[in-house]
A and B are shown apart, each in its own frame.
Chain A
Amino acid sequence: MTEKEFNNCVDSCSDGLYRFLVKNLKDRDTAKNIVQSAFEKMWMKRTEVQSEKARSYLFTTGYRLMVDEWRYQQRFSGLDAAADHYAEEVYAERNDVKRLVDRAAEALAPEQKAVLTLRDFEGYTYEEIAEITGLNMAQVKVYLFRARTHIKKFIGSREEVL
């Protein structure tokens, strides 16, 4: 990809990648760092990455870096405080159903949430999600099914309360 294509990709992809990472990591600083690293890597591999595959490359790289971050957070659970603060911020601004979906998604396993985010935020097909995450298509579908079923149950249980 050319320098111009790379810079165009910054304009067209950085927000989406950032949102995906923020949603899954719940930490904006870490998400920013991963976005920077993903673009840095793509620049270094620019001769190999075709511009039409750039978005997918960025999400794949971002996803892998995010997995490293998850592992780190599992070891050092003290980092979750920032995440809780972010969640509260978001919930306060959303209407009821969206808030319920957001809250339900917070309880998902990280991989399920990542798959769901790729599907809903970016509209990726099962095949594309499988490429990005390294899962197979059957696993992607199962993760999505479990995620949506969990959200469905969460909405059902809370709507009665509301």
Chain B
Amino acid sequence: MANILAVDDSSSMRQMVTFTLKGAGHQVVEAADGQEALNKARAQKFDLIITDVNMPVMDGITFIRHLRGEANYKFTPMLMLTTESSSDKKAEGKAAGATGWIVKPFNPDQLLNTVNKVLG
């Protein structure tokens, strides 16, 4: 089972993601913005990062760009939570080093499918 960092400024989304992933036996650590996530990712190693894009303090793409640059996270899968309409964001996120994305709105099953996919 994997150690996952879930980043979202919306606490209901965080709750939902955490609940779903924990239900599947994963360990989950939450962060409410990119900066907090970065600090937590530096404090311990995660197997998977799931992050929202639009957040205060530090947005998800900046967070991914920073984290991807760190030796510990060179190959770690990092997924963005993004809405259908923002195809620019997908490209921007990819350029910053994101592995892929989960399109919002998503349901718990879709989330788990994607997570299982990247964790192999």
Physical interaction between A and B: no
Binding site for A on B (CB under 8 A): none
